[in-house]
Amino acid sequence: MERNLILTYDIGTTGNKCAIFNSKGQEVMSSIVSYDTIFPKPGWAEQDPHDFWQSVVTGTKQLIEKGLNPKEVAVIGLSGHMNGCIPLDENGEVLYNNIIHSDSRTDEQCDFIRQNIDDETYYRITGNRIDPHYTLPKVLWLKQYYTDIYHKTRYFVHTKDYISYRLTGNIGISDYSDASLTCMLDLHKGEWAYDMLKTLKVDANKLPELRCSYEIAGYLTKEAADILGLVEGTPVTVGGGDGACATRGAGVKNVGDAYNYFGSSSWIATLNETPVIDNTARIFNFFDLNGKDMNICGTVQTAAAGYNWAIDILGPSGEEVSGGKSSSKSIYDKMESMARSSTIGAHGMFFLPYLMGERTPLWDPNTRGAFIGFTLFHDRNDMIRAVYEGIAYALRTVLDVFKDNQLNFKDIILIGGGAKSTLWTEMLCHVYNIPVKVHPTPGVATSLGAAIAAGIGVGIFKDFATAVDPHFVRICTPDPAQHAEYEKFYQVFRSIYPNIKPVYDKIAEL
């Protein structure tokens, strides 16, 4: 029996997507197993790594129930959410919950880093800002408050690395993409930043061995195979962080290609041969799955999350949607119809989508959302239109940072939930003034990226450039007249934040 299927585990923030891909990169079947996030204190966010493993067990059995023949699985690929911190002892036992990417408990440790390394030097070495969401300050937090755990730790690993260990028995292996957002990696040398870590008194021996995402981390042990119902000895590749997997799964093949992920948050990313060190540190950098090229990325904190907030506050009731049924699809269709009932510029109304602060380009936790320009003339349609446009304008400010760094794109690939909306596609195209290509399966990019890396690892695919051809389902080209109209309002949008920032800071003081 031919073994030509790729099994992937994508350990996301809310659940594990277990998926099967064929040798053409097409998803054959999938199962999603959710798990909880723990919030011990305000600003804290943790997950139990044992829940990750249980989701692998449950999800694999569900796939087998759906008809997966384990003997056809050629390789297992991995993806996981980044910026975490899982301390494992020498026997692979978890010593503390995973402190995940959204956790912000480490302001004190960030101050400690700044006392020893200035912001500019830190950014130049790591390609990333000093920020509480990254791994390094979390390691320092454990060292300060749980000294015994720090000393017992053999390796600090990431989400997908823990699953790799449970599958293969090989502890302490990670990849360059996940290592990048620990902010303990020297991106220019492609190795741990030993001098910086020595200055901060962090033991570099506690950091995992680094390999490329497509390399073999090990083989499925008998114990794991018996638990999962899979075949002992199935190869397991190292895998990558979810951001790097999404890049390749989106259809980015070569340096200079770019994509826009549009989900709860949204980001624009491109591949470059080297890190891009922005003069005001507005963008961040992490390695590609190939362990050679660099993902250059800028993130808007609130995209679909702001849109969903608008649905709750401004959206249509059940009586207003088709047939009085408030299904998700009909509500989204009605929202789009209401937005189209307004005009470009929403009759002079603006929405700042900074409902959770903002990252690129502002990096300002104090900024907040706002509607600007209300008059008695405006209605709900204008407000909804302003929400659509405000999120598009925020993403345009990210694109402008790329242009400031001489990164200009001939087109951009759209993935994520927002790619399902015709209005979003058209609006982003005209605001960006470049063609927007919609991925045929915008919701599977992360798992597909893990599958591509795994397929390369066992020879199913030759390389990243030729692995999978997405066959884009929609391509929107910019209309000069609409771009010119949007541009007038975009320039006003850009002027709002600098003028009301003092107000945001005063509000934060309260």
Domains of the chain in start order, with CATH, are 5-250 (3.30.420.40), 304-438+479-509 (3.30.420.40)
128-175 confidence digits (pLDDT tens): 999 999 999 999 999 999 999 999 999 999 999 999 999 999 999 999
Q: Which two tokens stand for residue 79?
A: 């993806």
Contact 297, 247 (CB under 8 A): no
Rounded mean pLDDT of 469-473? 86
ω into 502 cis (within 30 of 0) = no
Rounded mean pLDDT of 66-91? 97
Q: Which residue has the tokens 């390609």?
A: 127
* CB-based contacts of 147, cutoff 8 Å, min separation 6: none
Output the DSSP codes for 125-158: HHSS---TTSHHHHHHHHHHH-HHHHHH-SEEE-
Rounded mean pLDDT of 219-225? 98
* pLDDT for residue 1 is more than 70: no
* pLDDT score recorded for residue 18: 98
485: confidence class by pLDDT, cuts 50, 70, 90: very high
**Strand 173-175 and strand 209-211: pairing?**
parallel
7-59 confidence digits (pLDDT tens): 999 999 999 999 999 999 999 999 999 999 999 998 899 999 999 999 999 99
Q: Print the SS3 string covering 17-44.
A: EEEEECCCCCEEEEEEEECCCECCCCCC
* pLDDT score recorded for residue 316: 81
Q: ∠ CA(268), CA(407), CA(129), 5° rounding?
A: 60
CA distance 331 to 54: 35
Which of 257-261, 287-291, 302-306, 371-375 has the least mean pLDDT? 302-306
Q: Comparing C-alpha atoms, which of 198, 110, 207, 102 is closest to residue 150?
A: 207
Phi, psi values for residue 303, rounded to 5°: -120, -95
Q: Comparing C-alpha atoms, which of 176, 89, 101, 189 is closest to residue 137?
A: 101
* pLDDT score recorded for residue 321: 59
* Residues making up the chain, counted from first to last: 510
275-290 confidence digits (pLDDT tens): 999 999 999 999 999 9
* pLDDT score recorded for residue 88: 98
Q: What percent of the chain has pLDDT over 90?
A: 88
Q: Which amino acid is at 467?
A: A
443: confidence class by pLDDT, cuts 50, 70, 90: confident
234: confidence class by pLDDT, cuts 50, 70, 90: very high
* pLDDT for residue 115 is more than 80: yes
302-353 confidence digits (pLDDT tens): 998 899 999 988 888 655 655 555 555 688 899 999 999 999 999 999 999 9
* pLDDT score recorded for residue 216: 98
* pLDDT score recorded for residue 325: 52
* pLDDT score recorded for residue 369: 94
The 3-state DSSP class for residue 207 equals coil
* pLDDT score recorded for residue 16: 97
- Cβ burial of 352 (10 Å; 0-12, 13-18, 19+) is buried
Q: What is the pTM of this model?
A: 0.93
Rounded mean pLDDT of 440-456? 95
**Strand 98-99 and strand 73-80: pairing?**
unpaired
DSSP secondary structure letter of residue 353: -
Contact 415, 250 (CB under 8 A): yes
Q: Which two tokens stand for residue 266?
A: 């949204």
